A and B are shown apart, each in its own frame.
Chain A
Amino acid sequence: MKPELASPNVLWTLGSILSLLALATVSKRIVQRINPKIDLSLPAHYINTWWIIVIPLALAIAASKRLSIILFAFVSFMTLKEFFSIIPIRRTDRRVLFWAYLTIPVQYYWISKDWFEMFVIFIPVIVFLILPIRVILIGDISGLVKTTGVIQWGLMTTVFGISHLAYLLVLPPKYNPNGGGAGFVLYLILLNQLNDIAHTIFGKVLGHLSVFPNLRSQKTYEGLVFATSLTVFLSLLLSQVLTPLTRIESVLAGLVIGLGGVIGDAIMSGLKQDLGIKQNNSNEQTYTRILDNMDSLMYTAPLFFYFLKIT
């Protein structure tokens, strides 16, 4: 089987990530063997997360175009299900939620047909206009705005947001001679995840001044400056390998991905805080295993997509 979507640059990058990840996993084991007292829960958390992201991504890139789209649709489904499991809903909303699930195959169908206009307007416009009708037909009017508002939030992030990754992935190679659509996806996900890690580390080491004092999520101004600079720097490096972006464009893309990630992370934290769900970075039982790792990506994916569209 010859991968339809992978170029040599993409395969090399993917291979390097996998080897680094294997190296990290092994060294974590060794450190733990030598000194069992060291607390490795944070690196262990990131290593696990990376495995969970990289394996499906490698599959999606190696698979045929149709299979990659199905894989991303499945990610949307799992994430939307997590979202619906944590929001307060009314008994009468079951059928509305069922309709909301049905938007997933439709949204990914537009991608498979390369129907860009429908892909863009379907969830923000069409579903936005239709969902309240379902609630009104059921007749439980008190709470209409809240119900449709919460569901629309879920669809915009988990279906609309994530579907942009799938659309990027199946872009024809002419848009990106360096890495094809897969190059864009890999570039975006790498920067997004590294940006997240950089924020955690810099925020812990040198951060005092909180950016969002009312949020439980820890983002500091010091972390923001250092992490964003690092992301822009990495963007300059990676864009050479994976994208056709010029120098200036890579700096801008690094800023979009870095700052977009912070905003996305903050908004999803706020949403969870509002709903009374604690953020969970441990291996404890939790509803939001995928959602926690996708929250900044769900934001940056459309941002980066339209950034590419206008440059």
Chain B
Amino acid sequence: MSTVLRYLFFIFIVKPLVLIGLGLNVYNRQRLPSKGPAIIVANHNSHLDTLVLITLFPLKLLKNIRPVGAADYFLRNRFLSWFALKIIGIIPIYREVCPGTKRNPLTHISAALERGDILIFYPEGTRGQPEKLQSFKTGIAHIAKRHPQVPIIPVFIHGLGKVLPKGEALLVPFICDVVVGEHIRWEGSKEAFMNKLSSTMKELAFKISFPAWE
């Protein structure tokens, strides 16, 4: 039932909203993976980021696409957690490891990668100031180290922070840019990997010229 709803939601609401209501300029679309396992790493400015990234993939991959979202935010009430888990299909991640529990916060992520899913991951940890790139948290490095064979595809998104920034409910249409980077892999050390990831992200941001947003 919720699978059907998920498809209906993406076909009749998300796709028209993203492709007609907003409009996308996608650079280097061919670099997107055509099958899992893979990790999409993107900057995060808006709830719409996830919907846009999912729209980039063909519908037949929808069942394999799993955005990684904060459990404390998305599972805070019953409706939201149903929507996040069943319709968007998130993998909840616990941002703060509770003392006393031995559980590894990345268990679900590893399991999904082993199933061949495509994960969407926001290393900034939360939606930042609109259109400002924040420093990345190192959780992604742990995942990369555990799964060195999984390609990590950096994607830079611009414009959605204008469309629907954090703390706003009013959606204002703008055409948005999505720049797909070449995939990177685990480089042997956490620092090297994180440096590579942030420098790739900054290069992608340079690819597009966007109007001022003061």
A285 — which chain B residues lie within 8 A by C-beta? Answer: 25-27
B25 — which chain A residues lie within 8 A by C-beta? Answer: 285-287
Let me know if B23 is at the binding interface, CB within 8 A. yes
Chain B, Cβ-Cβ closest to A101 = B173
Q: Are B170 and A85 in contact (CB under 8 A)?
A: no
In the bound complex, how far is the Cα of B214 from the Cα of A91, in angstroms? Answer: 6
In the bound complex, how far is the Cα of B173 from the Cα of A253, in angstroms? Answer: 37
Nearest Cβ on chain A to B113's Cβ, whole angstroms: 32
Let me know if A226 is at the binding interface, CB within 8 A. no
Nearest Cβ on chain A to B210's Cβ, whole angstroms: 9
Could you tell me how many residues of chain B have their Cβ less than 8 Å away from some Cβ of chain A?
Answer: 20
Chain B, Cβ-Cβ closest to A94 = B172
A101 — which chain B residues lie within 8 A by C-beta? Answer: 172-173
Nearest Cβ on chain A to B47's Cβ, whole angstroms: 16
Nearest Cβ on chain A to B211's Cβ, whole angstroms: 5
Let me know if B175 is at the binding interface, CB within 8 A. yes
Q: Are B213 and A91 in contact (CB under 8 A)?
A: yes
Q: Of residues 54 to 103 in A, which have CB atoms within 8 Å of B's CB atoms? A: 77-78, 81-82, 84-91, 94-95, 97-98, 101
Chain B, Cβ-Cβ closest to A278 = B209
In the bound complex, how far is the Cα of B165 from the Cα of A86, in angstroms? Answer: 18
Flag A99-130 by CB within 8 Å of B: 1 or 0 each: 00100000000000000000000000000000
Nearest Cβ on chain B to A278's Cβ, whole angstroms: 9
Flag A246-286 by CB within 8 Å of B: 1 or 0 each: 00000000000000000000000000000110000000011
Flag B166-177 by CB within 8 Å of A: 1 or 0 each: 001010111100
Nearest Cβ on chain B to A91's Cβ, whole angstroms: 7
The verdict on A82 contacting B175 (CB below 8 Å), with A89-B211, A90-B214, A275-B211 known, is: yes
Q: Are A94 and B212 in contact (CB under 8 A)?
A: no
In the bound complex, how far is the Cα of B165 from the Cα of A274, in angstroms? Answer: 28
Q: Of residues 168 to 214 in B, which have CB atoms within 8 Å of A's CB atoms? A: 168, 170, 172-175, 209, 211-214
Nearest Cβ on chain A to B72's Cβ, whole angstroms: 28
Nearest Cβ on chain A to B26's Cβ, whole angstroms: 8
Q: Give B residues with C-beta under 8 Å from A.
A: 22-23, 25-27, 130, 159, 162, 165, 168, 170, 172-175, 209, 211-214
18 A-B pairs besides A85-B175, A88-B211, A94-B162 with CB distance below 8 A are A77-B173, A82-B175, A84-B173, A85-B174, A86-B211, A87-B211, A88-B212, A89-B211, A91-B214, A94-B168, A95-B170, A97-B172, A98-B172, A101-B173, A276-B209, A285-B25, A286-B25, A287-B25
> What 7 A-B pairs come out closest when comparing CB atoms?
A88-B212, A85-B175, A88-B211, A285-B25, A94-B172, A85-B174, A90-B214
Could you show 13 A-B contacts with beta carbons less than 8 Å apart? A81-B173, A84-B174, A85-B211, A88-B212, A88-B213, A88-B214, A89-B211, A91-B214, A95-B172, A98-B170, A98-B172, A276-B209, A287-B175
